[in-house]
Chain A
């Protein structure tokens, strides 16, 4: 992770804060926009240290493209996960086969690992129990493969190809 300039980090924070402000007020009235811009500039100066590590580097077109592609993929995975859970809950025999498996990840970045852990929690039958370095401990409602490699293939691989580009 290279050192990003303070200016780049600051501008990125201000931009994100300002977008959130626009969404929250939901109006383009000049008064609202001005006060929002002022507050974004002040809050950005106070929080850019903790808010981002890479600054404007996050807005690299390739990253934005992969992120946009990731959203529908993720929502689809989430809906499938819920139908899966619905099937398990409603089935009279309760077809569950739970256990805690271990996965490895190729991601090295903390934000990327967080995004992966969150994605895992919201998708088919898996909840992240703990993360130690590159080892993920995951509670899986229907264990198909007990080995580390098999579990990684099933759980982390599908997300990694997106998250690697977005966060690495």
Chain B
């Protein structure tokens, strides 16, 4: 067995370990937000390990160097798109009103949202009398 095979296998094993952690996290975490934390991070690193590991493994096993550039580019695209998907999911969860876990200590987003609403309400109130004046004239 060549060194490349061993490195590749080690990387695949490393990736699989993080996959296991990721699924374990899905069960153990209390709410959707914390579950997303484990699901995105560990799954991304796990995929990177497995994908690049396969590329390096192929060098040792079949002596082919054409796998590694492909796996690298797959890894790069995964790294670029995975966090965007996670962001879309967690934002959708928040917007559809999934509550935070009761142990959560702070929610700045809610504060910011409600303060924005208040600003708009005040603006509307300020505009109303001026509109009334225009109609009177």
Given A99-B105, A100-B108: A127 and B45 interface contact (C-beta under 8 Å): no
B-side interface residues, number (CB < 8 Å): 47
A99:B94 contact, CB within 8 angstroms: no
Residue of A nearest to B21 (CB): A86
Given A24-B73, A89-B24: A98 and B100 interface contact (C-beta under 8 Å): yes
Contacting residue for B101 out of A81, A98, A130, A146, CB 8 A:
A98
B105 to A: closest C-beta gap in Å: 5
A82:B94 contact, CB within 8 angstroms: no
B52 to A: closest C-beta gap in Å: 11
Interface string of B71-96 (1 = CB under 8 A from A): 01100000110111011001100100
A76 to B: closest C-beta gap in Å: 12
Q: Give the dominant DSSP class at A's interface.
A: mixed
List, in ascending order, chain A residues with CB within 8 A of B73's CB.
20, 23-24
Residue in A82, A132, A141 whose Cβ sees the most chain B Cβ within 10 Å: A82
A121:B42 contact, CB within 8 angstroms: no
A129: CB under 8 A from chain B? yes
B103:A122 contact, CB within 8 angstroms: no
B28: CB under 8 A from chain A? yes
A62 to B: closest C-beta gap in Å: 22
A4: CB under 8 A from chain B? no
Residue of B nearest to A21 (CB): B73
B65 to A: closest C-beta gap in Å: 7
Contacting residue for B106 out of A86, A90, A100, A141, CB 8 A:
A100
List, in ascending order, chain B residues with CB within 8 A of A81's CB.
41
B25: CB under 8 A from chain A? yes
A146:B105 contact, CB within 8 angstroms: yes
Contacting residue for B109 out of A23, A79, A129, CB 8 A:
A129
A155 to B72, CA, bound (A): 28
List, in ascending order, chain B residues with CB within 8 A of A94's CB.
28-30
B37:A82 contact, CB within 8 angstroms: no
B16: CB under 8 A from chain A? no
A36 to B25, CA, bound (A): 43
B83:A101 contact, CB within 8 angstroms: no
Going nearest first, the 7 A-B pairs with the smallest beta carbon separation are A121-B83, A26-B66, A99-B106, A102-B108, A118-B83, A23-B69, A137-B109
23 contacts between A and B (CB under 8 A): A20-B73, A23-B69, A24-B73, A78-B41, A78-B44, A79-B45, A85-B25, A85-B41, A86-B21, A89-B25, A96-B29, A99-B105, A99-B107, A102-B109, A102-B112, A118-B83, A121-B83, A127-B33, A127-B86, A129-B94, A135-B112, A139-B33, A148-B108
